[in-house]
Structure formats: C-alpha cells, structure tokens
C-alpha cells in the first residue's frame, strides 16, 4: 500500500472536493488530520440515509501499510454500539479485508465510498431495524477467520484454517488435492481463491501475518 506523499496529498485534495465540509486541521510529515462533516446519502434495501456526520480522519503519509482512521465526533453513534473501538475509532472492516482491497495503494475516495459511508448506513439501518443490512463482521480472531471464510467461499472453520495454512505456506499446485478435504484437485475446487495468494507476494504476506497472529493468540490459551 505504499504511496508517496505527493500522491496522498493529491488524494486528500480529491477527498476534500468530494466532501467540501471536510478541512485539513493539521498536517505534518507522518499524518494528515481532517475534521468536519461528511454528507452521506445512501439508499439500499428500501431504506435511505441522508445525513451529515461530524468526523475526524487521520491519514498516515509516511511509508507503512497503515490504514486511515476515522472517528465520529458528533455523538451520533451510540455508546453501546459494538462496532466502535474504545478509543472512539470506527470499526469499518478487518485489517485483512481492507489491506487486500488496497493492495495496489490506498484510494481515499474509494475508502470513503466502500467503507465509511456504508458504515454509517449500516449504523442507521441497525438502529432502525435491529439488524445489519450487509451482515456483521465479528471481532478479533473470529473476524479474521470470518474474512477468510468470505475469501475462500467456505463457512467451515476447519476448512478455512486448512486453506489459509495452504495459502500462506504451500507452493501452489493445481493438480494437488485441495486442502479443504473434498478429495478434488485444487484447481477444480478452492484453487481459484488460493491462487491470488500464490501469485502476489504482498497478498501472501498478509496471509502469513494473519496466520502467525492466529497461532500466537491461540498459543496464549494452551
């Protein structure tokens, strides 16, 4: 997700023209801080959200694969809403999912469009109907596993674990038996979902770091 500083500044300009009530409040060598309000106008499942939200956005500009962070500062999001971290940041999606999405570089306008705006839509929908319009991502280890369930198109925990281990650690062989346990050749089974990790080292590294994290966390309970 490496972008140079000029690229990020150019993206911030675009973001500010898309959301004219956002302003740069602070900018240094490592981050750009934005604050103000964003207008969200979204319609899905016969429900419409049309509302301004006060937010603070922190955009990292130094190296790293750190994603932007956003807080809602207008006290709209209820204190007991589960998808907000203790420090007030909004829980938009798993790191895994967003890092894979922006593997070729962060796109701030897309980040707003695909994660931030749907977050507020989901919040309003949840508040109104008591359920999530696009499903709900669990947190911590469950959240990571759940992300890979989506990626590998499986709902089974063991299957997902086997596929993740393969994606992170094995050399891809289409004629090998699929690690999911089906007995079918990989290329005719989950191969197409694993192949991107074999072809792109950056994606593989995400799988490796997730697998390491899962193993480390699980070892705490041994």
Q: Residue 133 forms beta bridges with which residues?
A: none
Q: Taken in order 178, 180, 182, 187, is the CA torsion positive or negative?
A: negative
Give the list of residues 6+ apart from residue 212 with CB closer than 8 angstroms, or none.
none
Rounded least distance, CB 44 to Zn ion, Å: 19
- Complex with Zn ion: residue 40 or 178, whichever CB lies closer: 178
- C-alpha distances out from residue 57 to 15, 26, 185, Å: 11, 11, 46
- Complex with Zn ion: residue 15 or 163, whichever CB lies closer: 163
- Complex with Zn ion: residue 51 or 83, whichever CB lies closer: 83
Q: Quickly count helices (H) and strands (E) in the chain.
A: 8, 4
- Complex with Zn ion: residue 168 or 189, whichever CB lies closer: 189
Rounded least distance, CB 99 to Zn ion, Å: 16
Query: What is the C-alpha separation between 83 and 33, in angstroms, rounded?
Result: 22
Rounded least distance, CB 167 to Zn ion, Å: 12
Name which position in 16, 24, 91, 176 contacts Zn ion (CB under 5 A).
Answer: 91
Query: What is the C-alpha separation between 59 and 39, in angstroms, rounded?
Result: 19
Q: Virtual CA dihedral for 63, 99, 84, 134, nearest 10 degrees?
A: 160
Query: Which pairing describes strands 69-72 and 31-44: parallel, antiparallel, or unpaired?
Result: unpaired
Residues of span 8-67 touching Zn ion by CB under 5 A: none
Across 139-154, b (16+ Cβ under 10 Å) vs e yields: eeeebbbbbbbbbbeb
Residues of span 140-159 touching Zn ion by CB under 5 A: none
- Complex with Zn ion: residue 62 or 177, whichever CB lies closer: 177
Rounded least distance, CB 217 to Zn ion, Å: 17
Residues of span 156-215 touching Zn ion by CB under 5 A: 178, 180, 182, 189-190
Q: How many residues bind Zn ion (CB under 5 A)?
A: 7
Name which position in 71, 83, 101, 187 contacts Zn ion (CB under 5 A).
Answer: 83
- Complex with Zn ion: residue 144 or 180, whichever CB lies closer: 180
Contacting residues toward Zn ion, per CB under 5 A: 83, 91, 178, 180, 182, 189-190
């Amino acid at each position: 997700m490496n972008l140079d500083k000029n690229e990020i500044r150019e993206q911030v300009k675009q973001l500010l023209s898309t959301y004219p009530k956002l302003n740069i409040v602070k900018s240094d060598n490592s981050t750009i801080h934005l604050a103000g309000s964003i207008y969200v106008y979204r319609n899905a499942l016969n429900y419409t959200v049309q509302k301004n939200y006060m937010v603070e956005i922190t955009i990292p500009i130094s190296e790293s694969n750190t994603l932007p962070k956003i807080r809602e500062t207008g006290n709209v999001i209820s204190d007991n809403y589960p998808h907000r971290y203790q420090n007030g940041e909004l829980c938009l999606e798993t790191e895994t999912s967003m890092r894979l999405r922006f593997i070729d570089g962060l796109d701030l306008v897309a980040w707003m469009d695909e994660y931030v705006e749907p977050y507020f839509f989901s919040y309003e929908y949840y508040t109104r109907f008591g359920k999530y319009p696009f499903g709900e991502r669990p947190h911590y280890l469950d959240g990571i596993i759940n992300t890979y369930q989506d990626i590998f198109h499986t709902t089974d925990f063991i299957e997902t674990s086997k596929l993740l281990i393969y994606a992170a650690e094995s050399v891809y062989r289409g004629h090998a038996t699929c690690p999911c346990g089906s007995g079918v050749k990989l290329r005719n089974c989950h191969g197409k979902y694993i192949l991107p990790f074999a072809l792109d080292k950056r994606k593989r590294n995400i799988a490796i770091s997730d697998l390491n994290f899962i193993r480390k966390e699980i070892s705490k309970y041994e």
